[in-house]
Chains A and B, each alone.
Chain A
Amino acid sequence: MMTTPSLVPLPYRVVARRDDTADTATIALEPVGTALPPFAPGQFAMVYAFGVGDVPLSVCGIDGNRLTHSVRAVGAISGALRALRPGATVGVRGPFGTDWGLPGAAGSDLLVVAGGIGLAPLRPLVLAALAAPGRYGRLNVLVGAREPRELLYPAELTAWNAAARVLTTVDRADDRWQGDVGVVTTLLDRAVFEPRTTTAFVCGPEPMIRATADDLVQRGVEPERIRVSLERTMHCGTGHCGHCQLGPLLLCRDGPVVSWTRARPLLLVREL
């Protein structure tokens, strides 16, 4: 269900913080006063570091009015957000964009494929699926990372494995890594799902999304049942500024989650 987003930044306070990797931290935010409308898994917020600027951050956790974001430092704004400590205040707008549409996948096998920081927006989907045993078919969570030390939420991945099939792979192993090495698509061979009745949720770098979605289509998953989250430079969150345009889509409004049916032709056009 779509809610009307707040276009005015509301003050939120950092109430918890955890370093995930060398460049990524997870921060939990709670409203100082009025709370934003509820977020759905897959949607994003515009988070403003006062005096620096705002960036889109997907929610990786939704617990009442508490929002959790994993933020990777890739520039000045995300660097400032990653460095925040408990007690700091930020401005938050949202919720923006489309969600994963998990309830519509009831009865089908679920296939979650994440690459790198792409696991963050998929985390609330996994948690929602795990919280509703019996509503969905088999749950597979396939995760790829550059190195073992860059895997997000390793303890949670282990915990999820009790009720889901969780497989991880890295591009570069270290001496202690005993798991798989290779691209995340190689894990599809060991996922357990019936392609004709599977809904897939894919998030990560675009080439990884393309490779995964094309592989799934080859295996018989309907393109309409493959949902991908696309990343562009989002700014206004309302489809007005046009920074996030991808062909006919304004991804802050029409995305970030779209079906592979819509995304594939757009991702193959150069200079779109």
Chain B
Amino acid sequence: MTTAASGFLAALAPAHRARLLGLAREVSFPAGVRLFEEDGAADRFWIVRSGSVALDIHVPGRRGAVVETLGEGELLGWSWLFEPYRWHLGAQVRSALLAAEFDAPRVRAACADDPAFGLAITHGAARVIARRLKATRTRLLDLYGPPDTGAAR
């Protein structure tokens, strides 16, 4: 299957994965709950077990625009890893969420205590960021819109 192999945890070495999970607590949220707001303190993060979450951005005078949805195995939140530790986006539970929740200061402290663990976590988060950046750039191309030229299908 591809699900586990592509998740954030699967990218970590077993020892680092176990160490990170040792800092987790299982949480659940019903659909509709706001997990965080833009510019709020990024003091927690999650790895989704099941369910889905919509990431949104505030647009003055309009409803928040959903820019991406996250599901099983995905890292929810990376702003906690980099100063000033403020959320870049908002997040709302879209379908009942089961997740591993982490206290950000604790994880940062563990990263500082053990540079190998810290590098693994940072590297894993960077992979997630790179992937989302690539996806965002692809979407900027507006690929499915009407083509300028070429034959019809």
- Give min CB distance, B142 to chain A, whole Å: 7
Chain A residue contacts of B14, Cβ below 8 A: none
Beta-carbon contacts under 8 Å, B133-148 to A: 134-135, 138-139, 141-147
Is A127 interfacial (CB-CB < 8 Å)? no
B152 x A57 contact (CB < 8 A): yes
Interface of B is mostly: loop
* Number of residues of chain B lying within 8 A (CB) of chain A: 34
Task: Answer yes or no: A23 CB below 8 A from chain B CBs.
Answer: yes
Q: In the complex, are the beta carbons of A175 and B63 less than 8 A apart? A: yes
CB proximity of A165 to chain B, nearest CB, Å: 12
A72-B152 contact in complex given A171-B142, A189-B7, A219-B5, C-beta closer than 8 Å: yes
Partner pick for B138 among A81, A146, A189, A211, CB 8 A cutoff:
A211
Residue among B63, B66, B73, B147 with max Cβ neighbours from chain A (10 Å): B66
Of the candidates A72, A178, A186, A188, which one forms a contact with B153 in the assembled complex, judged by CB atoms under 8 Å apart?
A72
Residues of chain B within 8 A of A195, CB atoms compared = 2
Cα(A157)–Cα(B3), bound, Å: 22
Taking a contact as CB atoms under 8 Å apart, the answer to whether A219 and B2 are in contact is yes
- Flag if A116 contacts B144 (CB, 8 Å): yes
Q: Does A232 contact B (CB under 8 A)?
A: yes
A160 in contact (CB, < 8 A): no
Identify B151's interface contact among A169, A185, A208, A233, CB under 8 A.
Answer: A233
A1-9, A90-98, A117-125, A263-271: which lies at the interface: A117-125
A189 x B72 contact (CB < 8 A): yes
Q: What CA separation (Å) do A246 and B134 show in the bound complex?
A: 26
- Interchain CB contact (< 8 A) of B143 among A116, A219, A231, A234: A116
Residues of B within 8 A of A192 (CB): 1-3
Known: A186-B135, A207-B138. A120 touches B153 (CB 8 A): yes
The proximity string for A residues 6-36 relative to B, scoring 1 for CB distances below 8 Å and 0 otherwise, is 0000000000000000010000000000000
Contact A78 B152 (CB under 8 A): yes
Interface centre among B52, B69, B139 (most CB of A within 10 A): B69
Closest to A58 in B: B153
| B151, A180: Cβ atoms closer than 8 Å | no
Bound: A116/B94 CA distance, A: 24
Does chain A have a CB within 8 A of B150?
Answer: yes
Known interface pairs A181-B68, A189-B72, A233-B151; A205-B144 also in contact (CB < 8 Å): yes
A residues contacting B by CB (< 8 A) are 23, 55-58, 70-75, 77-78, 81, 115-118, 120-121, 144-146, 150, 169, 171, 173, 175, 177-183, 185-186, 188-195, 204-205, 207-208, 211, 219, 231-234
26 contacts between A and B (CB under 8 A): A56-B151, A71-B152, A71-B153, A72-B146, A78-B152, A81-B152, A171-B142, A175-B63, A180-B52, A182-B68, A182-B69, A182-B135, A185-B135, A188-B6, A189-B3, A189-B6, A189-B7, A190-B71, A205-B143, A205-B147, A207-B138, A208-B143, A211-B138, A219-B5, A231-B150, A233-B150
